[in-house]
Amino acid sequence: MLSLEQEKHFHSLLLERQDALEATIKELETPPDFGDYPGPDDNTDESEELFNRVASARALREQLAEVQHALGKFEKKTYGVCEATGKEISAAVLEVNPEARFDPAYAKEHHDNAAA
């Protein structure tokens, strides 16, 4: 069971991640200024840049959803508990991945079975 101090620590980490992700997403979704003077490869470069920004923002939105899901677990008093087994997720695992949903043993077994 996580101590109150550990819960505060992980809650703080998640809030920091949420803020950082939101700021990065906002930056990626702000249209870039490509300047006024076209070059020979501008259309290709600009299209590629826009595609990369949209793809990056989408991936970060998925990470943000995971962080927000983890933050919601604090309100439900289920933070640090495996969603599949109900077992506690260790503080060491949460330190590496504060938004972890599953106990590593369950996740490994589930992943191995899915790959088979």
What's the Cα-to-Cα distance from 59 to each of 18, 28, 53, 65, 95, rounded to whole Å?
A: 14, 11, 10, 10, 22
pLDDT of residue 38: 59
Give residue for tokens 């969603």: 83
Read off the pTM. Answer: 0.81
Q: Is there a contact between 67 and 99 (Cβ–Cβ < 8 Å)?
A: yes
**Please, what are the averages of pLDDT over each run of 10 residues along the chain (116 residues)?**
95 98 95 64 70 94 98 97 96 97 92 57
> What are the residue ranges spanned by the domains of the chain?
4-115
- CB count in 10 Å sphere of residue 94: 22
Top-level CATH class of 4-115? Answer: mainly alpha
What 3-state class would DSSP assign to 81? strand
